[in-house]
Each structure stands twice: as structure tokens, then as C-alpha cells.
Amino acid sequence: MVMGSIKTGTDVVVIGAGPGGYVAAQRAAQLGLDVTLIESEELGGTCLNHGCIPSKALISVGDLLHKVNNGAERGIVVKGAVEVDFAKTQEWKQTKVIKRLTTGVASLMKAAQVEVVKGKARFTDPHSLEVELNDGGTAAYSFKYAIIATGSRAVNPPFFPIDGQNVVDAQGALAFTEVPARFLVVGGGYIGVELGIAYAKLGSQVTIVEATGQLLPGTDPDLINVLMRRLRRLGINVLLNAKASGGLQNGKVRVEDAEGKVQEIEADKVLVSVGRRPFHEGLHLDKAGVRVDEKGFIPVDEQMRTNVSHIYAIGDVCSPVMLAHKASAQGRVAAEAIAGLPSAADWQTVPAVIFTDPEIAYVGLTEAQAREQGYDPVVARYNFAAVGRALTMGESDGFVKLVGDRKSGLLLGAQMIGPEVSELIGEVTLALEMGAQMEDVALTPHYHPTLSEGILEAALSWVHDIEKAGRK
């Protein structure tokens, strides 16, 4: 392509190659459309390069180290200190995990015959855009349809500005060259808690400062109670109803509690994780006529269409529920809608997973939400302490909680905390999508011994309670 030329005949331009964008590009190409994917950084977006994947890599290393150092009860005796070569850890994460996956995405795009353009895009009118190419110069594109998949960026709060050196966002915390001796986390959301636990297991003295009265705000308090017990055993200091401000000064951070009492916490590195915002700066949405709401999100309909009928938006840029798997699902919907298929974002619910220790997963309605929606909820809970597989793993903390409707018997939701619940939540999600009753789950044989028996036993308990109530 000649720089500055107009590429005619392009059906779909996808802006952003994260888990939403590259999936949308692949699906549109599979449906016979000519697709151009524009990305200024590495394929895979924040999730693959600076978020979901690298964080899970460090979490897995921390888990392994923790298991080795705490295996005496199961006969694993370590003589001398087990050391972490963190430079080697980072090299493994970058070359054996991230690089392999980004190469895989590139291969997928090549196989689908998607043209990948490296550069920053900006609309020039509703059917055209200009790309500032990474290797110099610009290129102009016309298109029939566009999918905006530019994702989100970490909030840089004025009360605790990120400097990229000692005060970092999640991307910076994942790129440390050594494990910090003292690590302070500002913000007790899922990113902060996940990385706080990972670095505690790797050897950091960790403090988490959360402005509200609970870690992971909005999460079922029953789950948080189990999590807090584990954090105490890991030696993590949690300060609730507290605010950090002023940055890192002389190796200390100023923290004020709800009563105005101030203390100084020593820290070598600080992670500021107080939320993310939709990212579309420099895209010139106004020239395309695309509206944004008061919070910066791009409103879309059930087919991911913006107010401009041929321009779509997916992922973090259009939704405060910022989940990679949701972006991917939305990407498929947008591509199929453009191709004329009767596709829409009509799923019943989207699961959420938090890779803490123990892991947390939930989907559908909680008991309170079910009651608010007019159901008569009945809750069944089964502890992992009674699940054989959990005991063999030495991971008996936590439980499965299922919520069902007393009258109809419908399964309404689930909340879990325990070993590998990230792998269990898919079963409940599928059941919810299929409109399953609690009895359907209870009548489904589950392999023994597996962690999934926790779901089975909770469902059996629910059915038994309903039967018992009916006999009275």
C-alpha cells in the first residue's frame, strides 16, 4: 500500500486488537468480509500484554512458591531457602507466555486474511479514517463499517499521581525487575488484590489500602470473609475505610482512616489501582458523529451498533463491565450483525472471576438481587472442606453457594470461593443460559473425586430443602 493513498473496497475497519477487536476481525473475515485491523501496539491489547495474561503468570509463580514453602504438612520438606530468580520469571512470562500468545494472534489474523496495520487511527469523516503509521507516514482508509475496540486505560488519580517508576499502574507492577520488599496497593479492587497476593507470596510485605469498608466492593460479603482470613494468614495488612494521598515521599505513604487518624506506611513500590476509564482519545469520534455518554462510554444497542448505524463499539470502551470474555462475545456479535446475521448480545449473564487466593467466581443473581427482582430465593451452600478432591489438594477453604427460585425451581445464580472455581463457574453459566432448574444440576452425575462435586452437592441440598419444606 502506498502511504497517503485511499484503500478502496474495505468492508470493515476494526480499531484495536485486544480480545474484542481481534476476535471481531477474525469473525468478520470468516463471514467473507474484507477486514483491516488497526493497532498501534502489540496484538492482543492490554489483556494479553499488560493485564489478564501476565498477571496470571505471576500469580501462578507465586502460588507455586507458596505451595513449596508450605508443604511440610504433606511431607514436602525444604532444606534451606527457596529463592526466586525474578529476572528469569519475567523472561519466562514475556517469552514463553506473552510472546507465544501474541504470535498466535498474528497467525490467526494471517490465516483469516485480515490486513493488520500498525498505527494510530483517527476518523476524518463517518466513512474514512487516517492512520499515523508506527514506521512513519500516514495512510488513509475508507470503509463501509467500523468497529471501535480501543479498550480502557488505568485512572491516574490527582490525589496519588502515577509516575511510572516507584508509583505505577498495573502494567508497571507487572514489569518490576525485582520483587519489592515493601509493596503498597492503593485500591482494593480485583487488580490490586490479585497483585497484592501474588507479590506477598513472592516475598513482599504487602499493605492494601481501600477507601470503602470492604475489599472487592460489590462482591458477596460471605466470599470476602473467607478471603480476609486467607489474607491474614499470608501476612497482608488490609486498611479499610482509609485513603492514601500525596504519593510516595521518602519511602513512605500517608494514609488517613475514616476518623481522620493519619499513619505513614513504608513502601518501596506503590500500585495505584482505583479503576479504569474508556479510552478513545485521539480517535476524533466527533468527526464520525459518534456520541459518548457523560462517563465517556460509547452507548450501543444489542447488536453493538452506535448512534451511527454503520459504526459499532465493543468491549471496555462501551461498557463499565470491563471483562475480556465479554469483549470477545461482543466482537462476534458486531461482526455477525455487520454480515447480516440475526446476532445480538442476548446472553442471560456474564460470569466474573477474581484470581485471588482462594479464587472467587460468580454469575447470575445473588440472594438479594433475586429478591429485588421478585423471586422467592432459596440458597444452598456446600463447603469445600467436605469435598474429597479439595482435601487431597490441601485447599479446603471456601464454598459453593447456589441461588434458586422456590416456586419455579429455576437456577438463578451462583457465588463461589475456593480452589479453581474459575474452572467451575462455566458449568453454572451454561446452566443459566439454558434455563436449567436446580433439579437438572442435581440429577447430572459429576465425576468423583472432582471439585465440581461441590456444585452437585449444593444442588442436591437445595432440592432436599425444597422437598423437606413441601412435606411440612
pLDDT at residue 250 above 80? Answer: yes
pLDDT tens-digit readout, 97-147: 999 999 999 999 999 999 999 999 999 999 999 999 999 989 999 999 999
Establish whether domains 6-154+278-338 and 167-274 are of one fold: yes
pLDDT at residue 71 above 80? Answer: yes
pLDDT tens-digit readout, 392-404: 999 999 999 999 9
The DSSP H or E segment spanning 80 is: none
pLDDT at 1: 41
pLDDT tens-digit readout, 320-364: 989 999 999 999 999 999 999 999 998 889 999 999 999 999 999
Q: Compute the mean pLDDT over every residue in the chain, rounded to the nearest whole number.
A: 95
pLDDT at residue 409 above 70? Answer: yes
pLDDT at 296: 96
The C-alpha cell at 93 is: 512470562
Could you tell me which residue, 314 or 70, shows the higher pLDDT? 314
CATH of 6-154+278-338, one of 3.30.470.20, 3.50.50.60, 3.40.50.920, 3.40.50.1820: 3.50.50.60
CB-neighbour burial class of residue 105 (10 A; exposed 0-12, middle 13-18, buried 19+): buried
Q: Is 438 helix (H, G, I), strand (E, B) or coil?
A: helix
pLDDT at residue 82 above 90? Answer: no
pLDDT at residue 78 above 50? Answer: yes
Q: Which residues does the annotation mark as catalytic? A: 448
pLDDT at 469: 78
Q: How would residue 465 be classed by pLDDT, with cut points 50, 70 and 90?
A: confident
Q: How would residue 2 be classed by pLDDT, with cut points 50, 70 and 90?
A: very low
pLDDT at residue 3 above 70? Answer: no
DSSP structure class, residue 406: T
pLDDT at residue 4 above 60? Answer: no
In sequence order, what E strands does 259-398 have? Answer: 262-266, 269-272, 276-278, 311-313, 352-354, 359-364, 377-383
DSSP per-residue letters across 408-436: T-BEEEEEEEETTHHHHHHHHHHHHHTT-
Q: CB 401: neighbour CB atoms within 10 A?
A: 21
Could you tell me which residue, 83 or 299, shows the higher pLDDT? 299
Q: How would residue 471 be classed by pLDDT, with cut points 50, 70 and 90?
A: low
Q: What is the largest CA-CA distance in the chain?
A: 80
Q: How would residue 7 be classed by pLDDT, with cut points 50, 70 and 90?
A: low
Assigned CATH for 352-471: 3.30.390.30
The C-alpha cell at 102 is: 501474541
Helices (H), 203-346: 221-233, 285-288, 324-338
Domain ranges of the chain: 6-154+278-338, 167-274, 352-471
pLDDT at residue 291 above 90? Answer: yes
pLDDT tens-digit readout, 204-219: 999 999 999 999 999 9
pLDDT tens-digit readout, 261-283: 999 999 999 999 999 999 999 99
Tell me if the domain spanning 167-274 has CATH number 3.50.50.60.
yes
Contact 89, 7 (CB under 8 A): no
Please state the rounded mean pLDDT for residues 42-57. Answer: 96
